[in-house]
């Protein structure tokens, strides 16, 4: 499955267009390698996603074309979630 579609179906990112934009800015890695929105995601892959001040690392557990909101969290497991401190 394409990376941008997986992120939308799993509800890690709510819109596919936003997932595509983040991926094309080199802010997502699959197994330590920079990924584009068209990169393929497979079960067992480790995704690292950099949001503004947050980094989310997840493991892909399942892949489905569609899913209900309650079942979306079953598609991945959060390995690590870190926040950068902003000093003012």
CATH number, domain with residue 46: 3.10.290.10
Identify the pLDDT of residue 84. Answer: 83
In-domain check, residue 12: yes
User: For the segment 30-76, what is each residue's pLDDT rounded down to a tens digit?
Assistant: 999 999 999 999 999 999 999 888 999 999 999 999 999 999 999 99
Domain span at residue 65?
Answer: 3-83
Q: How far apart are CA 20 and CA 2, in angstroms?
A: 10
Tokens read off for 31: 């197994």
What is the helix, strand, coil percentage profile of the chain, to 5? 25, 30, 45
Whether 62 is covered by a domain: the verdict is yes
In a domain, 88, yes or no: no
Query: Looking at the predicted structure, is the pLDDT value of residue 22 above 80?
Result: yes
Contacts of 36 (CB under 8 A, 6+ apart): 3, 23, 24
Q: What is the pLDDT of residue 52?
A: 84
Q: How many domains does the chain have?
A: 1
């Amino acid at each position: 499955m394409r990376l941008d579609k997986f992120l939308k179906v799993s509800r890690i990112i709510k819109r596919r267009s936003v997932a595509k934009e983040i991926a094309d800015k080199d802010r997502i890695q699959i197994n330590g390698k920079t990924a584009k929105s068209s990169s393929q995601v497979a079960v067992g892959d480790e995704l690292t996603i950099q949001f503004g001040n947050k980094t989310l690392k997840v493991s892909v557990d399942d892949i489905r074309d569609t899913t209900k909101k309650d079942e979306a969290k079953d598609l991945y497991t959060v390995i690590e979630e870190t926040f950068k401190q902003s000093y003012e």
